[in-house]
Structure 1
Amino acid sequence: MKTITAKQVESFLNEGKVLTIIDVREVDEVTAGKIPGAFNIPLGLLEFRMHELDKTKEYIIVCRSGARSARASEFLEYQGFNVINMTGGMMAWEGKIE
């Protein structure tokens, strides 16, 4: 599984790089704040919503601590998606939130 740090994601966003970020936390967790531009697909719904994703794109997967995003990354990778797990999750995020 490919990984990326929260600091690297923040740097890429600050440089203006376009990233596709999927936040797999529950809806109530996301309302407390998320990485700008990230879209929410709770882990429990991922299997049912993966048809919304494009296998030609690269996705960065985020959760609170990195554990759920690791599970989501493994699942999506097995399904043929190009994913990167953000280690440390939102607990490691020091950038802007929305």
Structure 2
Amino acid sequence: MKQVTVEEFQQLVEGDRDLNILDVRPKDLYDKGHVPGAVHFPLNDIEDNLDELDKNKSYYAICHDGKGSKKATEILTKHGFDVTNVEKGVPDYKGELEK
């Protein structure tokens, strides 16, 4: 499984506004603040919404503590997607969040 630290991820976000970021947390947490450009893609609905993703793109999965994004990365990788897990989670992201 591909992984990056939350610090490495923040550097990527600050350097490239075209990243495909999947925030797999529940909607209420996503709405309270998320990484700039992140799309809400809840863990519980991933397998029902695979057709919304493009297998020709690379994705980064992030959650609250690294556990949900790890599970999301495993599921998406199993289905042939290029996904990198962000270790830890949004609370550890030191950059500015969007609401």
Category of TM-score, reference length = shorter chain: over 0.9
DSSP-derived class of the 2:3 partner: strand
Would you identify which runs of 4 or more consecutive aligned residues in structure 1 move more than 6 Å?
A: none
Deviation larger for 29-38 or 16-25: 16-25
Cα deviation, 1:20-78, whole Å, max 9, x if unaligned, reads 00000000111110001000011111111111000111000000000010001001000
Give the gaps of 5 or more residues in structure 1. Answer: none
DSSP-derived class of the 2:60 partner: strand
Which residue number corresponds to residue 50 of structure 2? 50
Q: Percent identity?
A: 36
Aligned mates of 2:17, 2:41 — CA distance in 1: 22
Which residue number corresponds to residue 18 of structure 2? 18
Give the gaps of 5 or more residues in structure 2. Answer: none
Which residue number corresponds to residue 61 of structure 2? 61
Aligned mates of 1:83, 1:25 — CA distance in 2: 16
Aligned residue pair count:
98
Which residue number corresponds to residue 82 of structure 1? 82
Which residue number corresponds to residue 91 of structure 1? 91
Give the drift of 1:91. Answer: 2.5
Aligned mates of 1:59, 1:16 — CA distance in 2: 13
Does the 8 A contact of 2:63 with 2:69 survive in 1? Answer: yes
Give the TM-score of the pair, scaled to structure 2. 0.94
- What is the Cα-based RMSD across aligned positions, in Å? 1.0
